[in-house]
Structures are given as C-alpha cells and as structure tokens.
Amino acid sequence: MSQHSEPEGPPPARPRQASDVHVVTASDLSTDAPQTTGLQRFEALSARRLGTRDLWMGLSVLPPGSRTGVHHHGESETGLYVLSGVGRWWVGDELGEAREAHPGDFVFIAPHVVHWEENASDTEPVRMVVARTTQDAIVINLPDHPAAPDTDGERYDHD
C-alpha cells in the first residue's frame, strides 16, 4: 500500500445536523396529495414537506368494499407494502387481470401502467405504505376509461 492510497473502511463521519432525522407521526400525515375516487392518500415524506431529494412516501387506505377509479402514476415507479387487508389491482388491456396482495406482501407498479384497485373485504380496510421514485405523488385519473368499474354500486364482477 503506497503512502497516498485511501484508507480502507467507511468514510469519515460528517457532523450530524438536526435535519438528518425526521419523524412524521400518524397525526402529521397530510391529505394534500393527489386523490383518486375510492382511495385515501396521505403524504408523509416529500420534498414539499421535508426537503427530500429522491423519495416520496405516504400511506394509502382503501376503505372496506371500495374500488378506485382508473388511473396511472405517470413516470413514477410505485412500491407498496400491504400492512393490513387484501387488495386487488386490475390491469391488462381491458383491466380484466387481477393481482392480489395480502398483509406482508409488496406490490410494484411500473410507470404508466393503467390500473384500478379494489378492497377484497367488505369489513376491513386495506392499509398500504407507498413509496415513489418521483418527488410528486403523480396520479393521472382516467374517469372516462371504457373499463372503469362502478365506484358507487355493487362489487365489481368482471366477465
């Protein structure tokens, strides 16, 4: 090893700043996030709220028996972790293919994938942690999509 080589091991620690660690409590979640019929989105970590650079995180709640409108998340990759309940994501050319996730499951939604969501239970909400690769919670609602479910009526029964 020459005299001028870099030392092995982790880089030296930089002084910590008060802004390095933030806790956003459940009561501090913001409803100032784009919404879709049938789903409640809550913003926790974002550039707007905390000055994050590359991360958006929040919580989504799909009430018992509910269905969302058809939407996609633009250029954003979306990762979900199901905390409780059973959720279904309807995808495909005619939104007729279901993907189901249970507590402890992770869900990945690629950019621009058109979908809608359904709570599989009439009694328990689906609660999900959401992470996105964009600074905004991009939500592009498609209310006139030909395969849109009835968000006010009986449970969806796809042919």
Q: Is residue 153 part of a domain?
A: no
Q: What percent of the chain has pLDDT over 90?
A: 44
Q: What is the mean pLDDT of the chain?
A: 83
Q: What is the pLDDT of residues 56-95, one digit of tens each?
A: 899 999 999 999 889 998 999 999 999 999 999 999 889 9
Q: Which domain holds residue 39?
A: 29-141
Q: Is residue 152 part of a domain?
A: no
Q: Is residue 86 part of a domain?
A: yes
The total number of structural domains in the chain stands at: 1
Q: Is residue 133 part of a domain?
A: yes
pLDDT at 154: 41
Is residue 26 scored above 70 in pLDDT?
yes
Q: Provide the CATH number for the domain around residue 136.
A: 2.60.120.10
Q: Is residue 72 part of a domain?
A: yes
Q: Is residue 8 part of a domain?
A: no
Q: Is residue 110 part of a domain?
A: yes
Phi, psi of 47 (to 5 degrees): -65, -40
Cα distance between residue 157 and residue 120, in whole Å: 12
Q: Is residue 45 part of a domain?
A: yes
Residue 104, sorted as left (phi over 0), alpha (psi -120 to 50) or beta, turns out to be left
Q: Where are the beta strands (DSSP E) in 75-120?
A: 78-84, 87-91, 97-101, 106-109, 116-119
pLDDT at 5: 52
pTM of the predicted model over 0.75: yes
